[in-house]
């Protein structure tokens, strides 16, 4: 059954989307409600991702959805891709993360920077969910400053020897292929010169010297696998290097894809929380009447509804700019930062409206709130995104001291 | 083989429908494809997948806003669609709707016509049967299993007292029940493909029909009013420390208050 968005569509935003975009959203949302929601509590508690649903996600067509049909993808608009992320994160940020990584951080760089041979080898397999990918940029000592990365690829006969480690990698342990960014050649002592040598490598599961380890005991994104990747003299053949990009702009352009999806996704988590809080406040009576009628609860509901409305408008405009090909990293950064922050506020307010019930897994709102703690600082921390906008409007960079 | 699937729009089954002036207030309600029709659509798509050379067409009586739901049906794998939209259709009886459908379906030359057993709005369950009558072909209702041969069919219908098996010659109308199949989820490729499919629009006049035979005035039935079911009264918890004491109290209340014993 198609979900009704009408009651909370305060500005008739639905009219901004094409028939096709609305149908895509409802197709994914129906799937999330009927197939994913019954499983999430169990997986969240166990700290596992529902891998059994990957074939269904592939059949739905959400992996690399914007890429062309010739690679087994659906070729949807960027706005539709945004709505897909919104519908997925309505379910769980971990579900959206899984799809974002596969699409924006693995399939996108292979499509944008890979050879035709690499595209044909990997994209149809990744689109069909027969292969899973991850993206290795962040390192244990280098998060907000990726240019400082220590992972090195030393040229050898027929390829490169990779050494280093990557941290906080979504899907790491599940992956058949890792898109790993490394500096080529020996350390020259000049960080900025060395970052110009950054290249992307397709490191395959089973390559000798490549290993992974899973982060356990997370209090957030529990239904998502987060890993460390280790490279010890891993031989990567020349054919596995992405030929068409060099320098930090490679990984940063991938992050723009992923951040765009996150900006949309966060509104989905917020929507779930608003719908749930409204329903609960309408059903829960105290002092002889529904708590939805109390001013303090209405303030929270009104704030949630207002911020979600604004967040969706940001996304819609961002989608149009992306489709026009003029979108800037700073524009994406604004929406990623504020939408995630506001979604976390929404989730926290929903949890408060629920009272004691809010802490229960079955209420889902604190799960969203906990997840959004990760989303707030991954793909560029909240603070760093302020600095990106700061630089865009002042012309002065706060990075590098 | 050609299959026509009759689909209609109904209010979202999740929608809360209130009454206004004694009539259902459907303003602002989201319209969806009738759930029983989803089984008919799935049956048509599966048949087409299994029988090469089969073509499928969806036929809907709707309005100018019905295209979205028809695209939905096309996204599930139906090849093309026909939309009959005319302001004069507003408030028509199921029989009148069947007349409009018959006019649109007849020239299609369909071997098999599938429709949901009933709409989940007014639950008349008439349109499919009337359509068969108007086309002068067989109808099998509440179909839970359908086997199609060359020019023949074998259909199973579940009844309260057993299973009815009907065999006959095509063309025929089958109205589908739950259980005939498990409707698939739409997928992105199907939705993108739907964009390129044809939706042919008809008005009553383009079907050679007269507007005077349709609408509230010609319906022959009138909705005079609707009322909400009485609200449930609060329950009562039977007091007592032990099961025996509770039973004793229950019997006392049934005898003295309810006066049923």
Q: Domain of A209: which CATH number?
A: 2.40.110.10
Comparing A176 with A192, the larger pLDDT belongs to A176
| Residue A30: closest C-alpha in chain B | B185
B18's tokens: 């209130």
Check A6 against B28: CB less than 8 A apart: yes
Looking at A240, A273, A291, which one is the last position of a domain? A240
Q: Which residues, 6+ apart, have CB-to-CB distance to B150 below 8 Å?
A: none
For residue A306, pLDDT over 70 is answered with yes
Check A19 against B189: CB less than 8 A apart: no
pLDDT for the residue numbered B257 = 86
Residues A71 and A119 in one domain: yes
pLDDT for the residue numbered A297 = 97
Task: With beta carbons under 8 A apart, name residues in chain A contacting B178.
Answer: none
Q: Are the C-beta atoms of residues A245 and A187 closer than 8 Å to each other?
A: no
In angstroms, the separation between the Cα of residue A84 and the nearest Cα of chain B is 10
Task: With beta carbons under 8 A apart, name residues in chain B contacting A75.
Answer: 192
- Residue among A89, A139, A228, A379 flagged as catalytic: A379
Average pLDDT in the B92-121 region?
96
Would an 8 Å CB–CB cutoff place A157 in contact with chain B?
Answer: no
Q: How confident is the model at residue A3 (pLDDT cuts 50, 70, 90)?
A: very low
A226: exposed, middle or buried (Cβ count in 10 Å: 0-12, 13-18, 19+)? buried
CATH numbers and ranges of domains, chain B = 2-219 (3.40.50.620), 229-261 (no CATH)
- Indicate the pairing of strand B31-33 with strand B9-11: antiparallel
- Measured CA to CA, the distance from residue B156 to residue A21 in angstroms comes to 39
The DSSP secondary structure of chain B, one letter per residue, reads: -EEEEEE-EEE-TTPPPEEETTEEE-TTPPEEE-HHHHHHHHHHHHHHHHSTT-EEEEEEEE-TTTHHHHHHHHHTT--EEEEEE-GGGTT--HHHHHHHHHHHHGGGT-SEEEEESS-TTT----HHHHHHHHHT-EEEEEEEEEEE-SSEEEEEEEETTEEEEEEEESSEEEEE-TTS--PPPP-HHHHHHHTTS-EEEE-TGGGT--GGGSSHHHHS-------PPPPPPP--PPP-SSHHHHHHHHHHHHHHTS---
Is residue A400 a part of any domain in this protein? no
Is residue A1 a part of any domain in this protein? no
* Interface with B, mutate which of A2, A10, A33 (most B CBs under 10 A): A2
Would an 8 Å CB–CB cutoff place A278 in contact with chain B?
Answer: no
Q: Are the C-beta atoms of residues A175 and A215 closer than 8 Å to each other?
A: no
Q: What is the pLDDT of residues A113-166, one digit of tens each?
A: 999 999 999 999 999 999 999 999 999 999 999 989 999 999 999 999 999 999
| % of chain A beyond a pLDDT of 90 | 94
Would an 8 Å CB–CB cutoff place B196 in contact with chain A?
Answer: no
The helix/strand/coil state of A206 is coil
- Check which CATH number belongs to the domain holding A365 and give it: 1.20.140.10
A267 CB neighbour count, 10 Å cutoff: 30
Residues A231 and A277 in one domain: no
Would an 8 Å CB–CB cutoff place B197 in contact with chain A?
Answer: no
Check A1 against B68: CB less than 8 A apart: no
Q: How many residues does chain B have?
A: 261
Residues A139 and A71 in one domain: no
| C-alpha pair distances (Å), A204 with each of A75, A214, A237 | 27, 17, 11
B112: exposed, middle or buried (Cβ count in 10 Å: 0-12, 13-18, 19+)? buried
Residues A263 and A386 in one domain: yes
Domain hosting residue A62, numbered range: 13-132
Catalytic, A379? Answer yes
Of A248, A241, A237, A245, nearest in space to A194 by CA: A248
Q: What is the pLDDT of residues A247-258, one digit of tens each?
A: 999 999 999 999
Residues A236 and A264 in one domain: no
Residues A260 and A386 in one domain: yes
Residues A124 and A113 in one domain: yes
B56's tokens: 């499928």
Interface size A-B, in CB pairs within 8 Å, comes to 68
- Measured CA to CA, the distance from residue B188 to residue A258 in angstroms comes to 20
- Measured CA to CA, the distance from residue A202 to residue A183 in angstroms comes to 14
- Measured CA to CA, the distance from residue A117 to residue A124 in angstroms comes to 12
The helix/strand/coil state of A275 is helix
Q: Are the C-beta atoms of residues B114 and B176 closer than 8 Å to each other?
A: yes
Q: Are the C-beta atoms of residues A102 and A53 closer than 8 Å to each other?
A: no
For residue A104, pLDDT over 90 is answered with yes
Task: With beta carbons under 8 A apart, name residues in chain B contacting A76.
Answer: 188, 191-192
Would an 8 Å CB–CB cutoff place B14 in contact with chain A?
Answer: yes
Q: From the list A1, A61, A62, which residue is nearest B32 (CB)?
A: A1
Q: What is the mean pLDDT of chain A?
A: 95
Q: How confident is the model at residue A2 (pLDDT cuts 50, 70, 90)?
A: very low
Would an 8 Å CB–CB cutoff place B17 in contact with chain A?
Answer: no
Residues A307 and A328 in one domain: yes
Check B191 against A65: CB less than 8 A apart: no
Would an 8 Å CB–CB cutoff place A41 in contact with chain B?
Answer: no
Task: With beta carbons under 8 A apart, name residues in chain A contacting B67.
Answer: 19
Is residue A375 a part of any domain in this protein? yes
Check B185 against A24: CB less than 8 A apart: no
Domain count of the fold of chain A: 3
**Chain A residues 66-125 within an 8 A CB cutoff of chain B:** 69, 74-76, 80, 84
Q: How confident is the model at residue A6 (pLDDT cuts 50, 70, 90)?
A: low
Q: What is the pLDDT of residues B14-37, one digit of tens each?
A: 888 888 888 888 888 889 999 999
Check B192 against A74: CB less than 8 A apart: yes
Residues A194 and A181 in one domain: yes
Average pLDDT in the B129-158 region?
96
Check B189 against A61: CB less than 8 A apart: yes
- Measured CA to CA, the distance from residue B5 to residue B37 in angstroms comes to 8
Of A147, A371, A140, nearest in space to A252 by CA: A147
pLDDT for the residue numbered A401 = 58
Would an 8 Å CB–CB cutoff place A2 in contact with chain B?
Answer: yes
CA A383 to chain CA centroid, Å, is 18
Looking at A85, A113, A132, which one is the last position of a domain? A132
* Interface with A, mutate which of B192, B194, B196 (most A CBs under 10 A): B192
Average pLDDT in the A205-213 region?
98
Check B188 against A60: CB less than 8 A apart: yes
Check A59 against B195: CB less than 8 A apart: no
Q: Which residues, 6+ apart, have CB-to-CB distance to B237 below 8 Å?
A: none
Is residue A304 a part of any domain in this protein? yes
Of A58, A180, A179, A167, nearest in space to A108 by CA: A179
Is residue A261 a part of any domain in this protein? yes
* Interface with A, mutate which of B11, B33, B188, B189 (most A CBs under 10 A): B188
Is residue A164 a part of any domain in this protein? yes
Residues A23 and A81 in one domain: yes
Residues A140 and A124 in one domain: no
For residue A4, pLDDT over 50 is answered with no
Residue B158 Rama label (left phi>0; alpha psi -120 to 50; beta): beta
Would an 8 Å CB–CB cutoff place A30 in contact with chain B?
Answer: yes
Q: From the list B14, B68, B187, which residue is nearest A19 (CB)?
A: B68
A174's tokens: 């599940």
**Chain A residues 163-222 within an 8 A CB cutoff of chain B:** none
Looking at A117, A132, A147, which one is the last position of a domain? A132
Residues A198 and A260 in one domain: no
Is residue A3 a part of any domain in this protein? no
Q: Are the C-beta atoms of residues A389 and A334 closer than 8 Å to each other?
A: yes
For residue B154, pLDDT over 80 is answered with yes
Q: From the list B12, B185, B189, which residue is nearest A4 (CB)?
A: B12
Q: How confident is the model at residue B231 (pLDDT cuts 50, 70, 90)?
A: confident
Is residue A7 a part of any domain in this protein? no
Q: What is the pLDDT of residues A220-262, one digit of tens each?
A: 999 999 999 999 999 999 999 999 999 999 999 999 999 999 9
Of A148, A157, A316, nearest in space to A236 by CA: A157
Q: From the list B72, B187, B194, which residue is nearest A60 (CB)?
A: B187
């Amino acid at each position: 059954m198609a979900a009704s968005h009408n009651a909370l569509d305060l500005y008739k935003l639905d009219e901004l989307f094409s028939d096709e975009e609305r149908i895509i959203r409802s197709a994914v949302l129906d799937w999330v409600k009927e197939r994913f929601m019954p499983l999430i509590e169990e997986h969240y508690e166990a700290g596992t991702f529902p891998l059994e649903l990957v074939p269904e996600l592939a059949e739905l067509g959400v992996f690399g959805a914007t890429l062309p049909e010739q690679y087994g993808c659906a070729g949807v608009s960027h706005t539709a891709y945004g709505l897909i992320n919104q519908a997925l994160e309505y379910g769980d940020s971990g579900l959206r993360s899984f799809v974002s990584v596969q699409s924006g951080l693995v399939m996108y760089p292979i499509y944008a920077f890979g050879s035709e041979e690499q595209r044909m080898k990997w994209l149809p397999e990744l689109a069909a969910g027969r292969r899973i990918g991850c993206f290795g940029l962040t390192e244990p000592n280098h998060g907000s400053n990726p240019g400082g990365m220590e992972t090195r690829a030393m040229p050898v006969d027929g390829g490169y020897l990779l050494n280093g480690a990557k941290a906080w990698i979504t899907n790491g342990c599940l992956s058949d292929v890792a898109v790993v960014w490394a500096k080529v050649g020996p350390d020259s002592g000049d960080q900025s010169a060395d970052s110009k040598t950054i290249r992307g490598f397709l490191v395959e599961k089973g390559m000798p010297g490549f290993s992974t380890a899973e982060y356990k005991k997370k209090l957030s994104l529990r239904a998502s696998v987060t890993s460390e990747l280790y490279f010890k003299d891993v031989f990567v053949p020349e054919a596995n290097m992405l030929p068409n990009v060099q320098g930090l702009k490679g990984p940063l352009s991938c992050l723009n894809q992923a951040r765009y999806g996150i900006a949309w996704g966060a509104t989905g988590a917020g929507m779930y929380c608003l719908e749930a809080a409204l329903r609960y406040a309408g059903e829960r009576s105290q002092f002889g009447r529904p708590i939805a009628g109390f001013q303090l609860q209405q303030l929270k509901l009104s704030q949630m509804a207002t911020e979600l409305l604004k967040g969706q408008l940001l996304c819609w405009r961002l989608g149009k700019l992306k489709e026009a090909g003029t979108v800037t990293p700073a524009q994406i950064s604004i929406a990623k930062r504020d939408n995630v922050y506001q979604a976390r506020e929404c989730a926290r307010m929903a949890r408060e409206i629920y009272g004691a019930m809010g802490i229960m897994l079955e209420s889902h709102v604190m799960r969203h709130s906990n997840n959004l703690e990760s989303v707030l600082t991954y793909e560029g921390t909240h603070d760093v995104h302020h600095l990106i906008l700061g630089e865009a409007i002042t012309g002065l960079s706060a990075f590098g001291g | 083989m050609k299959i026509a699937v009759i689909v209609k729009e109904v209010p979202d089954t999740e929608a809360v429908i209130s009454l206004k002036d004694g009539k259902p207030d459907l303003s602002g309600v989201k319209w969806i494809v009738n759930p029983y029709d989803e089984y008919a659509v799935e049956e048509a798509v599966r048949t087409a997948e299994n029988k090469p050379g089969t073509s499928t067409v969806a036929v809907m009586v709707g309005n100018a806003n019905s295209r979205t739901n028809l695209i939905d049906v096309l996204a599930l794998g139906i090849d093309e669609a026909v939309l009959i939209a005319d302001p004069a259709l507003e408030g028509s009886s199921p029989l009148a709707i069947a007349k409009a459908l018959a006019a649109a379906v007849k020239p299609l030359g369909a071997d098999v016509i599938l429709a949901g057993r009933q709409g989940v709005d007014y639950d008349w369950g008439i349109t499919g049967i009337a359509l068969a009558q108007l086309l002068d072909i067989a109808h099998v209702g509440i179909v839970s299993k359908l086997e199609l041969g060359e020019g023949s069919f074998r259909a199973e219908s579940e009844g309260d007292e057993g299973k009815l098996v009907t065999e006959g010659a095509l063309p025929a109308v089958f109205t589908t029940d739950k259980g005939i199949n498990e409707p698939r989820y739409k997928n992105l490729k199907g939705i993108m493909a739907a964009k390129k499919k044809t939706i042919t629009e008809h008005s009553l006049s383009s079907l050679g029909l007269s507007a005077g035979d349709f609408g509230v005035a010609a319906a022959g039935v009138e909705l005079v009013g609707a009322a909400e079911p009485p609200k449930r009264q609060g329950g009562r918890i039977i007091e007592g420390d032990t099961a025996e004491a509770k039973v004793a109290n229950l019997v006392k209340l049934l005898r003295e208050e309810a006066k049923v014993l």
